[in-house]
Amino acid sequence: MAHSQTSKVTVLDGVFSVEQAERGRTVYDTQCAACHGKLLEGVSAPELTGSRFVRRWREGMLDGIYGFIEERMPLGRSPNSKPISDQEYLDLVTFILKSNDFPPGKSDLALENLKTIRFVGKNGPEPVPDGALVITVGCLSQTDGRWILSSAAEPERTRSELSTAPDITASTAQTLGRQVFRLDDLDAVPDFKPDDHKGHKMQAKGYIVRQADANRISLSSMVVLDSVCLP
């Protein structure tokens, strides 16, 4: 998934209609309630409302939630089979949003908009939570024997540990920031030799670990974007 640094639309902006969420309720009752509970409280499967649910998904685009449900649910379905249509999966997502008290709007949510709408908490956008799989860009450098990503942009959630062509296109155009991240697990990135890329603009993917003394990224991917690193 390409990250969407320019996206300003969030689930607080009324991105679905009441009628669509009601259609989603019908889908939920027949396909999901047995495991997730009639009130989405969680029975044999996790709850779909509340702070734990929001934390799991916040700061990612809605296509993350949709993709997870569309690829895996309901549990136990036959491989490569889909018991309901893409539109019904989409309506189901809007019912989950409404059940978490996100405001409805006047128009239905469309599939093509999922990648441009950010799922956030009631306080609006915040830094991605500790432990999230993220993507960012910055300048590769070394300080006191440690490799760091300096002048890094605000990290965003991503769905894939490895870089994709759309990721690279978006990262190449992205401006640098003011953050600094220590880089861990460099040996987890095949054939990556940091000495060959010192001072380069890099795209980093991995799991963010927030610490008081030094935020760090446990790497899953590093891609060179430019041989220079300018603002």
ω into 74 cis (within 30 of 0): yes
Helix (H, G, I), strand (E, B) or coil at 203: strand
Residue spans in the chain of domains classed CATH 2.40.50: 133-226
Tokens of 138: 């910055």
Q: In 10 A of CB 165, how many CB atoms?
A: 8
pTM: 0.81
| 145 phi-psi bin (left φ>0, alpha ψ -120 to 50, beta other) | left
Q: What is the mean pLDDT of residues 45-66?
A: 94
| CA 228 and chain centroid, separation | 28
In the predicted structure, residue 5 carries a pLDDT above the cut 60: no
pLDDT bin (cut points 50, 70, 90) of residue 2 is very low
* CB-based contacts of 214, cutoff 8 Å, min separation 6: 180, 182
What pLDDT is recorded for position 1? 39
- Cα separations (Å) of 13 from 23, 152, 221? 20, 29, 33
Mean pLDDT value across residues 22-26: 97
Q: How far apart are CA 126 and CA 9, in angstroms?
A: 14
Nearest to 141 by CA among 174, 169, 181: 181
Closest by CA to 203, choosing from 231, 176, 182, is 176
DSSP structure class, residue 108: -
Q: What is the pLDDT of residues 195-210, one digit of tens each?
A: 999 999 999 999 999 9
pLDDT for 32-55, tens place per residue?
A: 999 999 999 999 999 999 999 999
The three-state secondary structure class of 214 is: coil
> Which one has a higher pLDDT value, 74 or 33?
33
Q: Is the pLDDT of residue 29 over 60?
A: yes
What's the CATH class of domain 11-119? mainly alpha
What top-level class would CATH report for the domain 133-226? Answer: mainly beta
> Quick check: 169 pLDDT over 70?
yes
- Name the segment(s) of the chain with CATH classification 1.10.760.10: 11-119
Percent of the chain with pLDDT over 70: 97
SS3 content of the chain, % helix, strand, coil (to 5): 30, 25, 45
Report DSSP state, residue 39: T
Q: Does residue 151 carry a pLDDT above 90?
A: yes
Which of 87, 49, 47, 41 shows the shortest CA–CA distance to 66? 87
Q: Which one, of 217, 205, 219, lies nearest residue 164 by Cα?
A: 205
